[in-house]
Structure 1
Amino acid sequence: MKKLKLISETDSGEFVSVLIPARNEEDNIKDCLASVLKQKYPDFEVIILNDNSTDSTLDILSSFESGKIKIINGKPLPPGWVGKNFACHQLQAEAKGDYLLFLDADTIMEQGCIASAVKFADTENTGLLSLMPYEISVSFWEKAVIPMLYFALMVFLPVPLIERSKRKEIAVGNGQFMLFSRKCYETIGGHESLKNRIVEDVWLAKRVKEFREKLIFADGTEFVRCRMYNSLSDVWNGFSKNFFAGLSFSKSGLAVIIVMYFMLFIFPLVTLCFGIINSDQVLIEYSLIGFFIPVIIRITHSLKFHQPFLFSFLNFLSSGFIIAVAINSFRILKFGKGANWKGRNYEENVIK
Structure 2
Amino acid sequence: GWVGKVHACHQLAQQATGELLLFVDADTRLKPGAVAALRGVGADVATAFPEQVLGSVGEALVVSLLHLTYTSWLPLALIPRTSAASVLAANGQVLWVTRAAYDRIGGFEAVRDAVVDDMAFCTRAKRLGLRVDFVPGQDLASCRMYGSGAEAWRGFSKNLVPGLGHPVLVGIVAALYAVCFVLPWVAWPVAAGPALAGMGANLLQRALLAARFRLPAVTVVGHLLSALAFLGILVTSARWTAAGTLRWRGRTYAAHGGAA
TM-score normalised by L of structure 2: 0.94
Report the RMSD for the aligned CA atoms in angstroms. 1.7
Q: 2: CA distance between counterparts of 1:133 and 1:81?
A: 26
Aligned to 1:279: none
Q: 2: CA distance between counterparts of 1:295 and 1:83?
A: 39
Is 1:308 the equivalent of 2:216?
yes
Map 1:94-109; keep pairs closer than 5 Å.
Answer: 94-109=15-30
**Matched residue type, 2:28:** T
* Unaligned runs of at least 5 residues, structure 1: 1-79, 276-282
2:153 to 217, 232, 236: 236
Map 1:179-328; keep pairs closer than 5 Å.
Answer: 179-248=96-165, 250-272=166-188, 274-275=189-190, 283-328=191-236
Map 1:51-62; keep pairs closer than 5 Å.
Answer: none
**Matched residue type, 2:111:** L
Deviations 1:139-191 (A, max 9, x none): 11111121221111111001111111110111122111111100001111111
Q: Note if contact 1:244-1:330 (Cα within 8 Å) is conserved in structure 2.
A: yes
Q: Select the structure that is richer in helix.
A: 2
Aligned to 2:251: 344
Name the structure, 1 or 2, with higher relative contact order (CA <8 Å, separation 6+): 2
Q: Note if contact 2:74-2:89 (Cα within 8 Å) is conserved in structure 1.
A: no
How many pairs were matched up? Answer: 259
Q: Note if contact 1:129-1:216 (Cα within 8 Å) is conserved in structure 2.
A: yes
Q: 2: CA distance between counterparts of 1:166 and 1:292?
A: 37
SS at match of 1:133: strand
**Matched residue type, 2:175:** V
Q: 2: CA distance between counterparts of 1:339 and 1:333?
A: 7
Residue 92 of structure 1: how far off its partner (Å): 0.8
SS at match of 2:139: coil
Is 1:173 the equivalent of 2:81?
no
Q: Note if contact 1:298-1:309 (Cα within 8 Å) is conserved in structure 2.
A: no
Q: 2: CA distance between counterparts of 1:331 and 1:137?
A: 27
1:335 to 234, 243, 258: 243
SS at match of 2:210: helix
TM-score normalised by L of structure 1: 0.70
SS at match of 2:23: strand
Residue 218 of structure 1: how far off its partner (Å): 0.8
Q: 2: CA distance between counterparts of 1:96 and 1:267?
A: 53
Q: Note if contact 1:130-1:216 (Cα within 8 Å) is conserved in structure 2.
A: yes
Q: 2: CA distance between counterparts of 1:174 and 1:145?
A: 16
Q: Note if contact 1:172-1:206 (Cα within 8 Å) is conserved in structure 2.
A: no
Map 1:34-113; keep pairs closer than 5 Å.
Answer: 80-113=1-34
SS at match of 1:340: strand
